[in-house]
Amino acid sequence: MKGVEFPIFKTKMDNDRKFNLSDPKEREEYFFFKAGDEIKDIRKFLERSAFIVYLLGKKSAGKGTYSKMLSEVIDPEKIDHFSIGDMVRDIDEEIKDEGKKNELIKFLEKNYRGWSSLEEVMDILQGRSTTNLLPTDFILTLVKREIAKRGRKVIFIDGFPRNMDQISYSLFFRDLIGYRDDADFFVLIDVPEQVIDERIKWRKVCPKCNTSRNLKLLPTSKIDYDKERDEFHLLCDNPKCDEVRMVEKEGDKAGIDPIRERLEMDEKLIKQAFNLYGIPKILLRNSVPADKAEEYVSEYELTPEYNYEWNEAENKVDIKETPWTIKDDNGVESYSLMAPPVVVSFIKQLADILKRA
């Protein structure tokens, strides 16, 4: 990210061994090999307390992936992740049901405080556009409702703050929503825009289970070849989906161009949060300069690029895997990291913060 220096985190070890990070069992072994003591410390902390995390990163930066992976290795029963956008979309569906809508209004009448009337806010909710955001005080009320559903758990909040005005709210977030006196901190994620662009352009989604993968960077175990069109397609490997062909989402071919304004705002938010005092910050970096990669990471921790060829003789798809070289936002030749080494950095920084909480 231009203007902000995220440190390179070293995950390479003297006694390193190779793991298949696509295999769930080996990935679990990898985490305990790299950060076993820290995982135990975090689990011990969660026996007596919890914490709140505000995830800040550009769209498609991996916020959900990193938090879900950390949850799986620590304790999925004690950690919840929710997106402000998903929360509002769920409420969009909720208010279509008259009974659920009345329940929501009763909750808001009791808990909502703000400059706009409840009627005005409900009008925005039911007819809002991307340029007419819901008031922050209303969002806080909805988050309070969402957290209450989850009980005493660690909360990863994705999508708040969403604009510059909300940065100051986040400093007093626990108090504003009446949450427990738990530790809270920012997780700031730095991902080069080229990585985001490729993640979007090559993304494929299962039409049945909605699982998202990537033809270039994260394929499924099953690849199909369309001879007539000379095209390769991912087949969903969820047993319930019967190897259905995964499809691209409308607009994905345009990459980051349609969301350029959103990415610029996300970057401003990250930079603003980076300079805040009084709240701990975890800094996650997705890339490593190519000339420093050998020192900091093992080769299997780098994101590979997948290319496909049709093997006519054997009637099958041959898959070639090579290191994926990119340019970071400062023009430095770099490698993108797979999610697990980024999560190792997450775990180690988190354990250190909780020691002081």
* pLDDT tens string 1-16: 888 889 999 999 999 9
What residues have CB less than 8 Å from 57, skipping those under 6 apart?
63, 187, 188, 189, 190, 191, 266, 270, 284
If asked whether residues 251 and 339 sit together in one domain, one would say yes
Q: Which domain holds residue 336?
A: 24-78+153-355
On whether both 143 and 229 belong to a single domain, the answer is no
Please identify, among 97, 130, 151, the residue that sits at the C-terminal boundary of a domain. Answer: 151
pLDDT of residue 93 exceeding 60: yes
Domain check: are 221 and 319 in the same one? Answer: yes
Residue 324 · residue 304 · CB < 8 Å: yes
Identify whether 161 is preceded by a cis peptide bond (ω within 30 of 0).
yes
pLDDT tops 60 at residue 130:
no
Answer whether residue 195 is part of any domain.
Answer: yes
62 and 87, same structural domain? no
pLDDT of residue 287: 96
Count H helices and E strands in the chain, helices first. 12, 14
Give residue-wise pLDDT tens across range 302-344: 999 999 999 999 999 999 999 899 999 999 999 999 999 999 9
Q: Domain total for the chain?
A: 2
Residue 203 lies in a domain: yes
The string of DSSP letters for 220-254 reads: -SEEEEETTTTEEEEE---GGGTTPBPBPPTTGGG
Q: Are 236 and 223 in contact (CB under 8 A)?
A: no
Strand partners, 81: 156
Q: Clarify whether residues 324 and 255 are in a common domain.
A: yes
| CA angle at 68 for the pair 215 and 36, rounded to the nearest 5° | 110
- Of 109-123, 183-197, 222-236, least confident by mean pLDDT is 109-123
Question: Where does the pLDDT of residue 178 fall: very low under 50, low under 70, confident under 90, or very high at 90 and above?
Answer: low
Domain C-terminal end among 120, 151, 182: 151
User: Which residue in 198, 267, 233, 244 sits closest to 56, CA to CA?
Assistant: 267
Q: Do both 61 and 98 map to the same domain?
A: no
Do 161 and 282 belong to one domain? yes
Per the domain annotation, does 10 fall within a domain?
no
> How confident is the model at residue 206, as a pLDDT?
93
Query: CB neighbours (10 Å) of residue 293?
Result: 20
> Is the distance from CB of 138 to CB of 84 less than 8 angstroms?
no
What are the two backbone dihedrals, phi and then psi, of residue 351, each rounded to the nearest 5 degrees? -60, -40
State the average pLDDT for the chain: 89
Q: Which residues contact 302 (CB under 8 A, 6 or more apart)?
A: 288, 293, 323, 324, 335, 336, 337, 338
pLDDT at 85: 84
- pLDDT for the residue numbered 131: 45
